[in-house]
Structure 1
């Protein structure tokens, strides 16, 4: 699948780094610019982004009021497996016993509609996309440090101790991967929300060649 480098953005980063907050603001400020891919981590953003929603395949049952092709493409486990065999997905993952997949076709539909497509995926999703022929910008949203990330996660007061430790362990692996050469086009350290947002907008909508990639030496 040949794709425009300007139109596809792969966004990743640890839970608690601020991706959801940045995305919500991005869609609010530029409602006619973006399409969105729901990965397994992005379900909470769905209602906010309904008008610009990029449709993901899922094996979970529709909830009351949901329609096939509007919120998601609802498919059976058998159909999902067949799509995997056909290499239809850019990336796919399992979350809460349900499977979610980002298809090449759906991304292509967003690009054809002259919207920028944002793929919010985890580290494995980034690696999978890099192994495909999809051409994209790769943006990593990083916390100032693991200590700050832990403070943010605990400040939510929504996660168990086990969940927090799992997220921190995952974050360490994601940050380590982000330091590998050419893993991402830009690393934005979210130590100040306003500054992080400006850098994200400038990178996506401005001249990305002039954007200086940050490092995570402080992590």
Structure 2
């Protein structure tokens, strides 16, 4: 009997016994029912009579010990048809970035065996490239080399660097390049913040503010936004807590020291920032909080406390980007159409995806705002209806003790 939860957990399997021979029950599994009778609130001694009165057959309903299973989210697309190194194409598993895979064997250094979770068409383990093999792949290196082409800075990049001095602290999290471990979690009633990551501010940005605005007005009872903090004096037409929370420089800097900002910056001599208090306030109202941040600031909310759903909004192909900016320039002359700006945006997006892609739950290419909104809403609806959600294992391995207990099986592979 598990002391903290009251769950009935299998402590030992007798070698050679019926349970051992069946191969269906393992140490650490949680027993939920015996022959259709719920074991909720029952003590181990109350289960013995249930087993004793069984005839030739005993039916158990169990929850497998998840720490004896390894689930990962793929961080790349894989098509065995295009892989000349695969030993047997028919035995390989094709998957897309973001798919959840259950690793059933890592005995081979180059080819692991895995199941595609959510694919009902096959329950047979198939081959996937191991982390070591994928990282040795020439294509992998080509992609990653391309992400470091930011040698020159355009006018936009220089202006962006001058205007904002973002607080970055430790620059993001270490990026596992091929797979990242995830843990299944049954959905609860608590809403998850929706974190937008983009290149904004920039030459017209990539439409994150407009995407947020349309999502908010589509269902204001469900979605909410944070009210930013500033040290700038309040203007006549402004109201406290509406446009901004107005605080003194001393108070703002105290909040910085106490790490209460998701991110902050200085603009024209004044502080501006998004405070964790504002995020808590929206969540306390039972709403999904819409927040857009620089990827280096995700670490402040990428925790088990918030369980954010992170959406990366990236620009479309450079030809489409040129076309949309030309159209926008007819409306607003401030929208840049400098070719260097476009190249910088594409390079920046590539670098962000390379460094922070393991944090992104969804990647949306914002070529057309209406299409991007439909795609996002469809994805959020699917997320809302899902009984099980997949969270990064690191959220549940925050302390050394917990990490040693629940993540020891990861040693040496990620």
TM-score by length of 2: 0.41
Q: Which of 311, 320, 323 does residue 139 from structure 1 map onto? A: 311
* Aligned counterparts of 1:187 and 1:101: Cα–Cα separation in 2: 25
1:110/1:65 CA distance change after superposition, 3 Å? same
Gaps of 5+ in 1: 37-53, 211-219
- 1:59 corresponds in structure 2 to 231
Quick check: 1:7 aligned with 2:192? yes
Structure 1 contact 140–187 (Cα < 8 Å) conserved: yes
* Aligned counterparts of 1:168 and 1:127: Cα–Cα separation in 2: 28
Moved over 4 A (4+): 159-162, 164-168
More helix per residue: 1
| Rg comparison, structure with higher value | 2
TM-score by length of 1: 0.72
Structure 1 residue 187 displacement after superposition: 0.2
Q: Give the secondary-structure state (helix, strand or coil) at the position aligned to 1:177.
A: helix
Aligned residues: CA RMSD: 3.2
- 2:214 corresponds in structure 1 to 25
Q: Give the secondary-structure state (helix, strand or coil) at the position aligned to 2:252.
A: helix
Structure 1 residue 71 displacement after superposition: 1.9
**CA displacement, residues 146-175 of structure 1 (integer Å, 9 cap, x when unaligned):** 44335544543214678x856863653243
Between 1:12-21 and 1:136-145, the stretch displaced more is: 12-21
Q: Give the secondary-structure state (helix, strand or coil) at the position aligned to 2:280.
A: helix
Q: Give the secondary-structure state (helix, strand or coil) at the position aligned to 1:130.
A: coil
- 1:178 corresponds in structure 2 to 353
Structure 1 contact 35–110 (Cα < 8 Å) conserved: yes
Aligned residues between the structures: 191
1:8/1:131 CA distance change after superposition, 3 Å? closer
* Aligned counterparts of 1:62 and 1:165: Cα–Cα separation in 2: 38
Q: Give the secondary-structure state (helix, strand or coil) at the position aligned to 1:64.
A: coil
Structure 1 contact 92–125 (Cα < 8 Å) conserved: no
Structure 1 residue 91 displacement after superposition: 1.7
Quick check: 1:207 aligned with 2:379? no
Alignment of 1:63-212 (within 5 A): 63-130=235-302, 134-153=306-325, 155-156=328-329, 157-159=333-335, 169=344, 172-180=347-355, 181-207=357-383
1:189/1:170 CA distance change after superposition, 3 Å? closer
Gaps of 5+ in 2: 1-187, 389-414
1:158/1:116 CA distance change after superposition, 3 Å? same
Structure 1 contact 123–174 (Cα < 8 Å) conserved: no
**CA displacement, residues 63-108 of structure 1 (integer Å, 9 cap, x when unaligned):** 2211222221111222111111111112212334332222222111
Higher relative contact order (CA 8 A, sep 6+): 1
Structure 1 contact 5–135 (Cα < 8 Å) conserved: no
Structure 1 residue 60 displacement after superposition: 1.7
Q: Which of 34, 44, 61 does residue 223 from structure 2 map onto? A: 34
